[in-house]
Structure 1
Amino acid sequence: MMGLRTYLILLLVCLQGSLQAQHRERPFIWVRAGDRPAILEKIAHQSWAKEIYAEFIDELDRSIQVHASDPTRFLGGLPFDWVKGTGDQIPPFHRTYHIEDGKHKNLDNATEAEMAHARTLIRYLQIALDCGIAYFITEEEKYGQCAVDILYSFISAVGQSAVSDWHGRGGWLFPDDGFREVREIGYKVPLIYDFVADFIEKGGRPYDLAKERKTDFPFSEAQQVFRTYADLTIHYGQTGSNHPILEAPNLVYNALAMEEEQERDRLLAYFLTENTENQDALSEMAKTYAKRGDLWPETSQYLNAAASILTRLMLVVNRYDPINRLGERYANILYALPALDYLVYPNGQLIRWGDGKRTGTPPYSSYEEAYLLGEMDGVEDITREFASLLISAMQQGAYHRSGILAVLWYGKEYSGEGEELILPRTDKVDHAGIFLQRNESNTGNPEDGLMAFVGGAHMVHGHAEGMNIELYGRGEVLGVDNGRGRYQQDIHENYSRLFAAHNTVIVNGNSRAEGGWVNLGINRVTQVSMEPQPRENALSPDHSFSITRFVDDKGNLAEAVQERTLAVIRTSDTSGYYVDVFRSRSELPGQFHDYLYHNIGDSLIFLNEELPLKPTPDRYTASAALPWVQNRHYRHPGWHFFEQVQTAENYQKGIRARFVAEKFNPPIYMDLHIPPQEGRSYTKVMAPPTFEAPDPYENRPTPTLLIRQQGEAWTQPFALVFEPFGGLNATPSLQSVEKLTQDGAFAGFCIRSEVAAQERLQYVLIPMPGTGYRDEGLGISFTGSFAVITTDAGGKLQSIYIGEGEELRYGAQVLRPASGKKSVYRRF
């Protein structure tokens, strides 16, 4: 029988082991105590780490210089509301509000004055976090003392306010914007605590500003602050968007700041597996990344941020408990990180849709964190992919480690050669309805590259853009999407988000959005045909095309079906053109259709001297009087923002027009060729400035062309040929563009060009769907939807490209795709 003494000893051992398991040694959120020797070694021997650390400490020492000698003055800079202070108690903080027309709103458009207190608080919290990190690395008391003093002041002040329930989205210090509070304030506080807990445990005591003496650290109150911030995410968040991701750092860090293990794991479960009405768990968010290549369904900067944030949190939680193996379980989230490496023009700028940005840097630091996850979970595919991307970025000088977190986490010295990033000829973004084509030049010069895309869809942060295109030429995005400025502004809600800000077609003056996210719902652009298919090899070095479809049926005044053929055709290493054929028809009587095209530049000039343009200032103004309810009802279609409106009514001849951008050095031009068509009017306007336009055109109006077709635009579609060219003495290569018809319906173009003194004739065949094209005089017979025949000036055949079709006859030549195929290319 076990003796009482032996039993008591074993019991004490078990209890001690249980307590040690529950009480982890801090810090353990971003780093662990055992990481310190390797970090010091890194700083001592790796030049990049030494440089970052030295700059970090130097800046931090300047920021806290006053603290050591006069903590009262230093801490007095915090945004306390002294009027509400009582006795020797630290007062509450000023709370931050934004009020418009007497109504409380979130802080998206708050003024600098309104945000002054908040910015001060955020700066102090960052100083405290930096001091916590510096204490961890150096073990110097001055850093631990400063960090704990700020943390104590924050906990003492914040607890004196009540959490707001404003629209279910309230906060503590931002009563009308809890969403912003947890992103800018809430997540920092538990990190500070994690770094200074060791300082407190060793006897460090915070300085009380009001009492002007040191006091005990309020552990219970601190735990309640962490608990409350975690609760703000769990119960005050919003699902159905990227909000759960943006709020997740606040949830994870505050959960990990809890000292009681069961509560820590209970709160952490809301990140890992437990969904609420207000917050999606990782297991739910990961469903968006069902297969490799899937992206978060928003615009560029948001989809990139989503994957980056989740990658970092998966690494943090994996380090906390490696049994999770989150890198292995959710590898598709990691594989989404390089998306912006691929969605770029030859000049490196991003394709733009919705609220997306024109510029953006791939998240190289997230690549490092993905590598660490793959290494931790032993997934070689992950480490191989991201090592290669990092090696390439470092060798090209695109990525240099920065920030103190890099010193804490990164350290791998990648070796070898990174794989060259090969951008596909075509690509797609499923959730945005985007189908892009690129044709980079053999010269390797981005100015000689060609690229275009068509797209449109509904999503969070999406726009009601219809079936929109962008066109690239001579090193710049010329045919542009307007982009976005500040949210909730008139120009953003009633222009940038609506059809008129895009290169699309407006039907009956009433194309609009309806339903969905903030009532901006539209249908998705879908692929009818394309060659090459997205990310597949191209048949021809000079040709590619897509046919896409869009249904414009929101509201009840458009009721239209549309198809758009967009082709990229290269004529030499330094020249080429775009073909755009937009078919649109409405079910409603008295239909009319407006084609819009915006181009960066100084002006739009018509080379048809006799074009009878007259001022028509009231042509698009009617929608300006429509009601506007922010984020709900808009002034569709948005064209009341157009100025300097001039129109040529009922002009039936062909059009040759030119967008002039002479502020570029050298100048850049975009020529347009439009075959003659009855029932047309042509309007040129100055549209609002394009956001993130190239420097010469930042904040300058955007020249824009509108073409109105009375009646249907299906058999007689909007058919245009665009040619970008540039240089002081540059001339366009296209000499003439004529229309081909079949039974009175548009069927394609006959295009004459001259490149390097060599004349060329191209028949670009785009017959009506299901009809084909035959012309005995030209000796052409085609069954299909897209083809290009190229001859020299004398009619000698040079090549035939069938993008989609069954058979093409040209004279004695007969070309058919192989069995089971729809495309073929042959040179002669």
Structure 2
Amino acid sequence: MKLLKQLKITGCYVLLALITITQFKVWSQAPERPFILVKASECQQILNKIETQEWAKEIYDTLKLATDVEVAKFYKNPTAYIKQLPFDWSKKQQNRFPTFFKTTHIRNGVQENLDNATDEDWKPAELLITYLQVALDCGTMYYLTQDEQYAFVASSILYSFIKSVQQTEVSTWRGRGGWLFPYDGFREVRVIGYRLPLIYDFIYPYLKKEGKAFDIIENKNVNFPFEDAQEVFKTYANITVNYGQSGSNHSVLEAPSLVYNALAMDDKMDREKWLSYFFTESTENQDALNVMVKNYKDEGDIWPETSQYLNHTTSILARLMLVLNKYDPSLKLGEKHPNVLHALPRLDYFVYPNEEIVRWGDGHRHAHVPYEAYDDAYAVAKMDGLTEIQNKFAPLINRAMNKGKYKREGAEALFWYDGSFDNASTNVDLSRTDRVYHAGIVLQRNLSNTNNPKDGLMGFVGGAHMVHGHAEGMNIELYGEGQVLGVDNGRNRYGVDLHENYSRIFAGHNTVIVNGSSRGEGGWVDLEINKIQLISMEPEVGQEGVSPNHSFSLTSFEDDKGDKAEATQERTLALIRTSPTTGYYVDVFRSKSRLPNEYHDYVYHNIGDKLTFENKDLDFQKTPKRYMANADAPWKRNKVYRHPGWHFFKDVKTSKPYASDVKATFHTKKLEQGNVFMQLHIPGFENRTYTKVKAPITFESPEPYDNLPTPTLVIRKEGEAWKNPFVVVFEPYNETETPSIQSVAKIEQDGLYKGLKVISKTPSESLIQYVITQSKDEVFQNETLDIYFKGTFAVITLDENETLQSIYVGEGEKLSYKNEGVTTNSSKSYYKEYTK
């Protein structure tokens, strides 16, 4: 406590005195520095926070301990310390600083960006980043303590960087070059460019009173080169504005470098000029904020890319809104753009019962939720008086802290966050259905009243074109027994054969491939597909749902890229719970091509050890060449692919043509939680063959399946698959249970598929369910069953004595069963339970 009281005197009071002395000097064209992350006038309240709040004291103590170690090393031998920066001494000229080693990556003799750079490639950059971070930490400690030892270390590192970097030219490689990363300026501004102005801002009071820097060439302390520093800041701002890529998250990822370097400019006109490129002046290579925020037109809109990019992007915007609001409170960026803040927690709602994330495109299964951005959003909302947003984020922050998922760390937390939210709720209510609109995703969930994640049910249908999207068709994922079982392949390293020619394209997804030719074409890296269109769903997003046990969606897709698929498709995905611990999914996929000699392949991947069939007469035979037609087709990274990607399938075995019903099971027996199964009931139709394969590993699967092949089923239908579509009933269960479904039989009308009869035996009762799945506004009438239904989706549930238990109409106009008739209202949905 004595130290902290001393800091108050030697730190803030001296700094405020310095402000008073220098405020009228000619170079003072802005509030006295520092002011980018924090203002000089805020120092006292930060020290009070360190003294009174344990989390703040822990951050301070951790920062001081690590920084003091580096300061001691520097003062022991300043020359040796600075010479550890990645200088290329072989290129040193007389009386000049040597240049730094460049960070590059060469593959197959060709210079590339750093997507797939090796550890060796990254060594110069990592070393440089380490020392720049030391300088930034020293600058922070100087701000808090006014101890000039910290400022001298920071000044010497920044000085050395400036003198070295100015010995080279900025690369113009493909319009995306850098200074030290000549083939990836995009990364340079993200990992290096933004740090320099922050260091300068923190130590500016020291520099302005002629604080020195150590020069390893002259071997003496020298004055700081202000003009050179300003040129460096302008260069990094220029790399952001005039290099790079618009129309994607790149503009946001580069924006901190632009904003921080602009704020480091001492001339007010320069500062305002470069800040205008962030606020309103878009260029060919950089979108301004007024363009970026168009992605958040409505409350709940999210950045239109994949999960790890959308939240990271929005987090950066929220932080920049906070920084600029602090710089100029009259901007009120939170008030002007509240939907940016509302977008931040959306990813918390796209989660399975085990809290893994719904995956589309290049998205991760375990993407980090940026809780520090929630704190940023709360701070912005507090500044701008946005009570609704404060009330939205307080429980989210509190919940994350209580669950041990979030701990405030880093200097920014000291500067910006205050207090706790002990009285805030910690509930996050997940709706029965939700949508990721830009990704075409329609998801359904049914959480069990057991409150056990393994009893939860959830699945989704999705697919669309976006930056970092995949040509995935109308794809599904399915959850069961605490795991995502029916999986999308995900992604690992960009640019490699597996990613380009499998993960990104149809065969890596649970979809239907048409004529062996489904593909993406045009758009971002030539992977454009049409967006999945919603035809109908129940419940609607945010609604209660008419039934606690049923939900469904009907979606459509045009598979018309290239010229060899030319297909129209519909997919019904239904979730039916039969008890607190049992339930199943119904997947009905219709597909028809406008071309002659059509065929369609239904592909389903499930993590596991093996896929087995109860039908012994399928007569599987090895067919190693079945999917190899495009194995040696041309491939050009990010431009030309080996569609549809199924040449990666191994151990391919195919049945004879088979028209009977099929029952199959995926066995997953190496999970830490114990054995898990996914059983499939597949009604039989003519002209079908069944193939089982080993697909590549599924990334981010639970161990050990993140390093094992993925057993996969492919069902081929010769001819159209519309009138008699692909129909699969999925039931997950574990080793302590037996499957509840006893039998599945198709229901037909005039030789056409209309639905299913599913008999189940749950832990408490036996059920007979008629599940009717039609295209919109079709009619099913069966005199034997005494059922009439005009509509899209319905479930009639009976007990084992065939006594009516419930009627569910997901969408329809009229349903009758024996003596019971239902006419729906304007909502087209209906549910009624009958007395047992």
Same fold (TM over 0.5): yes
Partner of 1:550: 557
C-alpha separation between the residues in 2 aligned to 1:288 and 1:549? 24
1:719 equivalenced with 2:727 (yes/no): yes
On the 8 A contact 2:348/2:369 being kept in 1, the answer is yes
C-alpha separation between the residues in 1 aligned to 2:590 and 2:233? 58
Structure 1 residue matching 2:140: 3-state secondary structure: helix
Q: CA deviation at 1:21?
A: 6.3
Select between 427-436 and 125-134 the one with higher mean Cα deviation: 125-134
Equivalent pairs: percent with the same residue? Answer: 55
C-alpha separation between the residues in 2 aligned to 1:652 and 1:291? 49
On the 8 A contact 2:777/2:812 being kept in 1, the answer is no
C-alpha separation between the residues in 2 aligned to 1:744 and 1:18? 91
1:672 aligned to which of 659, 673, 680: 680
Q: CA deviation at 1:297?
A: 0.3
Deviations 1:708-751 (A, max 9, x none): 00000000100000000002x42100000000011111101000
On the 8 A contact 1:753/1:759 being kept in 2, the answer is yes
C-alpha separation between the residues in 2 aligned to 1:395 and 1:586? 53
Partner of 1:328: 335
C-alpha separation between the residues in 2 aligned to 1:339 and 1:130? 33
Select between 752-761 and 478-487 the one with higher mean Cα deviation: 752-761
1:117 equivalenced with 2:124 (yes/no): yes
Q: CA deviation at 1:198?
A: 1.3
Partner of 1:239: 246
Q: Which letter maps to 2:42?
A: D
Partner of 2:423: 416
Uncovered stretches (5+) of structure 1, i.e. residues with no partner: 1-14
- After TM superposition, the structure 1 = structure 2 runs for residues 281-360 of structure 1, keeping only pairs within 5 Å, are 281-360=288-367
Change over 3 Å in CA distance of 1:585–1:366 after alignment to 2: same
Q: Normalising by the residue count of structure 1, what TM-score does the alignment of the two structures yield?
A: 0.97
Change over 3 Å in CA distance of 1:44–1:260 after alignment to 2: same
Structure 2 residue matching 1:298: 3-state secondary structure: coil
Partner of 1:826: 832
On the 8 A contact 2:91/2:98 being kept in 1, the answer is yes
Partner of 2:215: 208
C-alpha separation between the residues in 1 aligned to 2:483 and 2:77? 55
Q: CA deviation at 1:765?
A: 0.5
Q: Which letter maps to 1:699?
A: N
- After TM superposition, the structure 1 = structure 2 runs for residues 416-435 of structure 1, keeping only pairs within 5 Å, are 416-418=423-425, 420-435=427-442
Partner of 1:640: 647
1:79 equivalenced with 2:86 (yes/no): yes
Partner of 2:625: 618
Partner of 1:532: 539
On the 8 A contact 1:95/1:173 being kept in 2, the answer is yes
Structure 2 residue matching 1:472: 3-state secondary structure: strand
1:460 equivalenced with 2:448 (yes/no): no
1:406 equivalenced with 2:406 (yes/no): no
Partner of 1:658: 665
C-alpha separation between the residues in 2 aligned to 1:391 and 1:228? 41
C-alpha separation between the residues in 2 aligned to 1:385 and 1:574? 33
- After TM superposition, the structure 1 = structure 2 runs for residues 49-64 of structure 1, keeping only pairs within 5 Å, are 49-64=56-71
2:507 aligned to which of 485, 500, 509: 500
- After TM superposition, the structure 1 = structure 2 runs for residues 674-823 of structure 1, keeping only pairs within 5 Å, are 674-727=682-735, 729-756=736-763, 758-818=765-825, 820-823=826-829
Partner of 2:388: 381
On the 8 A contact 2:23/2:32 being kept in 1, the answer is no
Q: CA deviation at 1:487?
A: 0.6
- After TM superposition, the structure 1 = structure 2 runs for residues 239-278 of structure 1, keeping only pairs within 5 Å, are 239-278=246-285
Partner of 1:491: 498
Deviations 1:686-715 (A, max 9, x none): 000000010121111100000000000000
On the 8 A contact 1:715/1:768 being kept in 2, the answer is no
1:393 equivalenced with 2:400 (yes/no): yes
Change over 3 Å in CA distance of 1:113–1:397 after alignment to 2: closer
Select between 466-475 and 28-37 the one with higher mean Cα deviation: 28-37
Partner of 1:145: 152
On the 8 A contact 2:71/2:149 being kept in 1, the answer is no
Partner of 1:603: 610
C-alpha separation between the residues in 2 aligned to 1:487 and 1:20? 47
1:574 aligned to which of 569, 576, 581: 581
Q: CA deviation at 1:770?
A: 3.8
Q: Which letter maps to 1:246?
A: L
Change over 3 Å in CA distance of 1:253–1:99 after alignment to 2: same
Q: Which letter maps to 1:375?
A: K
Q: Which letter maps to 1:80?
A: F
Deviations 1:604-655 (A, max 9, x none): 0111122200100111011111100100010000000000100002111111
Partner of 1:3: none
C-alpha separation between the residues in 1 aligned to 2:254 and 2:597? 50
On the 8 A contact 1:760/1:790 being kept in 2, the answer is yes
Structure 2 residue matching 1:721: 3-state secondary structure: strand
On the 8 A contact 2:308/2:368 being kept in 1, the answer is no
Q: Which letter maps to 1:150?
A: I
Q: Which letter maps to 1:68?
A: Y
C-alpha separation between the residues in 2 aligned to 1:172 and 1:400? 36
Q: Which letter maps to 2:179?
A: W
Select between 36-45 and 797-806 the one with higher mean Cα deviation: 36-45
C-alpha separation between the residues in 2 aligned to 1:31 and 1:250? 17
Q: CA deviation at 1:17?
A: 6.5
Partner of 1:593: 600
2:530 aligned to which of 499, 502, 523: 523
C-alpha separation between the residues in 2 aligned to 1:726 and 1:419? 31
Structure 2 residue matching 1:622: 3-state secondary structure: coil
On the 8 A contact 1:390/1:418 being kept in 2, the answer is no
C-alpha separation between the residues in 1 aligned to 2:470 and 2:717? 25
Partner of 2:10: none
1:133 aligned to which of 108, 129, 140: 140
Change over 3 Å in CA distance of 1:142–1:16 after alignment to 2: closer
Deviations 1:452-488 (A, max 9, x none): 0000000000000000000000000000000000111
Structure 2 residue matching 1:79: 3-state secondary structure: coil
Structure 2 residue matching 1:791: 3-state secondary structure: strand
Partner of 2:38: 31
Structure 1 residue matching 2:571: 3-state secondary structure: strand
Q: CA deviation at 1:115?
A: 1.5
Deviations 1:583-607 (A, max 9, x none): 0000000000000000011110111
- After TM superposition, the structure 1 = structure 2 runs for residues 83-232 of structure 1, keeping only pairs within 5 Å, are 83-232=90-239
Structure 2 residue matching 1:215: 3-state secondary structure: strand
On the 8 A contact 1:742/1:767 being kept in 2, the answer is no
Structure 2 residue matching 1:623: 3-state secondary structure: coil
Q: Normalising by the residue count of structure 2, what TM-score does the alignment of the two structures yield?
A: 0.96
Q: Which letter maps to 2:731?
A: E
C-alpha separation between the residues in 2 aligned to 1:273 and 1:757? 64
Partner of 1:559: 566
On the 8 A contact 1:89/1:211 being kept in 2, the answer is no
Select between 33-42 and 766-775 the one with higher mean Cα deviation: 766-775
Q: CA deviation at 1:415?
A: 4.0
Deviations 1:32-83 (A, max 9, x none): 1111111111111111111121122212222343201101111111000101
C-alpha separation between the residues in 1 aligned to 2:274 and 2:281? 9
Q: CA deviation at 1:408?
A: 2.0
Q: CA deviation at 1:557?
A: 0.2
